[in-house]
Amino acid sequence: MNEMDIQTVTLERQGAVLVATVDNPPVNALSHSVRAGLVDAVEALESDPQAKALVIVCAGRTFIAGADIREFNKPLKEPRLGVLIERLDRCEKPVIAAMHGTALGGGLEIALACSYRVALESARFGLPEVKLGLLPGSGGIVRLPRLIGVEEALAMISQGNQVDAEHALETGLLDEVMADDLRAGALAFAERIVAEGGAIRRTSDLPVPTIEPGFLDAKRAEFAKKFKGLDAPQIAVDLVEMMSTTPFQEAAAREYATCKELIASPQSQALRHLFAAERAALKIDGVPAEVEPREIRTVAVAGPGVMGRGIAICFLNAGYPVVLLGKDEENLSKGVGGIRKILESGVKRGRMTQEAADEQMSHLTPTLDYADLGAVDLVVEAVTEDLATKKDVFARLDAALPDRAIIATNTSFLDIEALASSVTRPENVAGMHFFNPANVMKLLENVRAGRTAPDVLATITSVGKKIGKVPVMVGRSEGFVANRMLSKRSREAQFLLEDGATPQQIDKVLSGFGFPIGPFALADLAGMDVMAAARKARLAGMTPREQACDIVDKLAAAGRLGQKTGAGYYLYGDDRKPQPDPAVDELLAAHRAERGLPQREITDEEILERCLYAMVNEAAKIIDEGAAARPGDIDVIWTNGFGWPTHLGGPMFWANRIGLPNVKAALEKYSALVGEEYFRPANLIESLVAEGRGFYD
Ligand code: T1G
């Protein structure tokens, strides 16, 4: 073992059983010291005649959670994981993997190369490499299908999802599951194996499972839709096909070679960037790691409208009792009914059991009386987007709530400082900005106000994680971050219509880039009435050209509200597929004539650059203003909010890869073409280019 390494694997012998304990916080990742320590453990087993078996167990909260991601961009230090796996595979004495927490990636691959696998009933198992744009490289591809069959194995490899211990026992991944005391249970299991002769079982000796004809091609077609733009899921199918017709050692070598190629791939570098960025976003400026979040036992949601219902479900799903505060009986009963309907649809879709839905409904307490909030620790305010209404609700909450209760507004653009000023404890006020539908969308923009207490910021961050969101702290700014950047993309999309592009051309370019849906199909989904109302609310702050660009109003006035009326930017038949509509071409031609704008051929490149560079430039301004802490936060927001393709790493990562000098040059080109006020490069971009740096240097 390298003398620089700290000791992360300790060995002890209990009778005839050697026990190797891995202790490499926080997740027992397979750092060099762990790999070397486990190779030493196998060698000790083989060289000690008194030792008849080896148990590999981990300290801390989990079994090995995979290769150490932080080592991927560093020179590899032997022994690589494959060497350890081969030593385990060749070992002539039984090795038992004893697992708890999440046995993932290389950790599960180690277990697959052992003779036996036991686990706590709370343990979970997975090969999440694909979520990092990788694939298993140390036996996951060649061993897992042999153990649990191709269908189960390919599902785990291609989607990276975890399975629980019960399922793992059923499929043959595990030999035994125990309720508690894993070390003692694993030791007893090992002693039994030894007493019965110490038989070894090599997964590599198992026959290759049969593959139903057509199964793999069906998976290729399914994954092309399900994992649009992602390479690794398709390669997973190719590798499983390869392992089914290739001798084990050769297949293992090709698996490893593919993993190495993927580690160097742009997609994996983008996905690993997001993995790190999501965790970096949890570190809040001005909130030291030792600041304890407040204990949140009971939550209230004020405002049982569409957003309030989704927010209430987030907390119910996570096991919090929720008090739902309405303004009158009708409003409240509609809210309760809406929540029940969403939970019932979850049952119908098999996402939850009827018992779970009933249990969650039993934890919902509807009320019209603020006095019922006397024991609540956190209120999420989601009443109508009107400042006076919100200030009235805040004042009444302030009077009813205990001193330590947090009030978090879900507003998407109203001034959080004004709300904080309407209560006696502004340090308890923050924003928790959910995205519709709140119980589905992962992104949570947590908003810090000027006086928000550090432990309140820590609390809304930890609560955000507990309810399964991806929380990102943002500062004051109209539309915070996601909506503010989206408004620039929308502006350019509208201007491009005026300049001669069609809705279908723009949607095709942006969905071709990787967004789940183009801006105009999205507008038809949201409804032109909703879009017109949002435009009206922001009209005063718009530039003259934006104010005159009233295509949305014209469509709404013509009753073209989108999917809900069968026509908006597109026509919709029963299949709800958007079809170009000559009437829209006429409406646009009339608008352009009315505006007297010169018409020209618009290239796809111009559409992409104007829409996306406008967003990147706005993000740079947001960072300049301190409304976002770091470029990685912007990437996390857009890949979890409005569907920026994750394999491109987010807006800032994508722009950085293009090169900021190129981005600056394009901004200058469009400043001349569209207008300085829209494309003048942000100070941050100017300064980074001047210093020869990128967003992440
Ligand atoms: N390597 C290094 N650090 C890791 C890590 C890893 N694999 N996984 C987590 N961390 C750090 C993380 O950055 C954070 O650090 C802390 O641990 C807590 O993580 C050869 C090639 C295990 C389910 O993809 O899914 O094996 O911010 O905040 O929410 O074929 O971490 O505190 O400084 O996420 O409780 C495959 C990735 C690797 C697992 C725990 N393995 N990790 O979740 O805590 S590739 C993975 C996770 C591989 C082989 C291939 C989760 C978790 P910090 P956390 P959590």
Please enumerate in sequence order all residues whose Cβ is within 8 A of that of 559, keeping only pairs 6 or more positions apart, or say none: 565
- Distance, CA of 371 to chain centre: 37
Q: Is residue 109 among the annotated active site residues?
A: yes
Instruction: Based on the fold, state whether residues 550 and 685 are members of the same structural domain.
Output: no
- Residues contacting residue 574 through CB under 8 Å, at least 6 positions apart: none
* CA 29 – ligand 1 centroid, Å: 7
Closest CA to 172 of 143, 133, 141, 139: 143
What distance in Å separates the CA atoms of residue 458 and residue 306, rounded to the nearest whole number? Answer: 27
CA distance to 299, 307, 320, 393, 456, per residue, from 408 (Å): 11, 14, 16, 12, 10
DSSP string, 639-686: HHSS---GGGT-HHHHHHHH-HHHHHHHHHHHHHHT-HHHHPPPHHHH
Four-CA torsion 559, 564, 566, 567, nearest 10 degrees: 50
Return the ∠ at Cα 199 (arms to 194 and 205), rounded to 5°: 155
Question: Total structural domains in the chain?
Answer: 4
Q: Are residues 612 and 644 in the same domain?
A: yes
Residue 491 domain flag = no
In a domain, residue 363? The reply is yes
Residue 129 lies in a domain: yes
Low-confidence residues of the chain: pLDDT under 70 = 1-5
Which residue has the CA at smallest separation from atom 55 of ligand 1? 27
Residue with the smallest CA separation from ligand 1 atom 51 is: 65
CATH code of the domain covering residue 158: 3.90.226.10
482 domain-assigned: no
Residue 605: is it exposed, middle or buried by C-beta count within 10 angstroms (0-12/13-18/19+)?
exposed
**Sign of the four-CA dihedral 437, 439, 443, 444:** positive
Domain span including residue 338: 299-474
Q: How far is CA 570 from its chain centroid?
A: 31
Strands (E), 107-265: 116-120, 124-126, 163-164, 176-178
Domain final residue pick, 263, 284, 315: 263
User: Looking at the domain assignment, is residue 496 inside a domain?
Assistant: no
* Helix or strand holding residue 12 (H, E): strand 9-14
Q: Is 71 a catalytic residue?
A: no
| pLDDT score, position 477 | 87
CB within 6 Å of ligand 1 — which residues?
26-27, 29, 65-70, 81, 102, 104-106, 109, 128-129, 132, 134, 136-138, 140, 259, 279
* Distance from residue 130's CA to the centre of ligand 1 (Å): 13
Q: What is the distance in A from the centroid of ligand 1 to the CA of 17?
A: 30
521 and 583 inside one domain: yes
123 in a domain, yes or no?
yes
Q: Are 281 and 472 in contact (CB under 8 A)?
A: yes
Out of 24, 27, 134, 164, give the residue to mutate to test ligand 1, the one with the largest number of ligand atoms within 8 Å of its CB: 27
Predicted confidence at residue 598, as pLDDT, reads 79
Structure tokens at 102: 């999440």
Q: DSSP string covering 355-387, please?
A: HHHHHHHHTEEEES-GGGGTT-SEEEE---S-H
* Beta-strand relationship, 102-104 and 53-58: unpaired
Catalytic residue among 86, 129, 606, 609: 129
Answer yes or no: do 183 and 222 share one domain: yes
What is the edge-to-edge ordering of all strands in the sheet holding 364-367? 364-367, 322-325, 299-302, 378-381, 406-409, 429-434, 443-447, 470-474
409 DSSP β-pair partners:
381, 431
Answer yes or no: are the C-beta atoms of 617 and 609 closer than 8 Å: no
Query: Is residue 191 located within the same domain as residue 227?
Result: yes
Ligand 1 atom nearest 104 alpha carbon:
41
In this structure, what DSSP letter does residue 540 have? G
pTM score, two decimals? 0.92
Q: Is residue 32 part of a domain?
A: yes
Q: Residue whose CA is closest, atom 18 of ligand 1?
A: 26
Q: Are residues 241 and 102 in the same domain?
A: yes
What CATH number is associated with residue 532?
A: 1.10.1040.50
In this prediction, residue 90 carries a pLDDT of 95
Rounded to the nearest angstrom, the distance between the alpha carbon of 142 and the centre of ligand 1 is 23
Q: Is 5 helix (H, G, I), strand (E, B) or coil?
A: coil
Q: Buried b vs exposed e over 52-78: b needs ≥16 C-beta within 10 Å?
A: bbbbbbbeeebbbbbbbbeeeeeeeee
Residue 424 placed within a domain: yes
Q: How far apart are CA 165 and CA 143, in angstroms?
A: 18
Q: Do 97 and 238 reside in the same domain of the chain?
A: yes
649 and 519 assigned to the same domain: no
Give the position of tokens 């991806």: 470
Domain identity same for 615 and 573: no
Q: What pLDDT is recorded for position 53? A: 98
Query: How remote is the CA of residue 100 from the centroid of ligand 1, in Å?
Result: 15
Residue 640 belongs to domain with CATH number? 1.10.1040.10
Among 541, 565, 599, give the residue marking a domain's end.
599
Q: Please indicate, yes or no, whether residues 626 and 682 belong to a single structural domain of this protein.
A: yes
Q: What is the CATH number of the domain that holds 363?
A: 3.40.50.720
Considering 109, 278, 381, 606, which one is annotated as catalytic? 109
Bridge pairing between strands 53-58 and 17-22 = parallel
Q: How far apart are CA 139 and CA 433, in angstroms?
A: 43
Residue nearest to atom 34 of ligand 1 (CA): 279
How does 207-219 read in b/e, with b if 16+ C-beta sit within 10 Å? ebbebeeebbeeb
Same-domain pairing of 125 and 19:
yes
180 CA to middle of ligand 1, Å?
Answer: 24
**What is the Cα Rg of the chain in Å?**
28
Q: Are residues 655 and 676 in the same domain?
A: yes
Q: Which of 30, 61, 69, 163 to mutate to test ligand 1, by most ligand atoms within 8 A of the CB atom?
A: 69
Q: How far is CA 120 from CA 92, 124, 174, 572, in A?
A: 26, 9, 10, 53
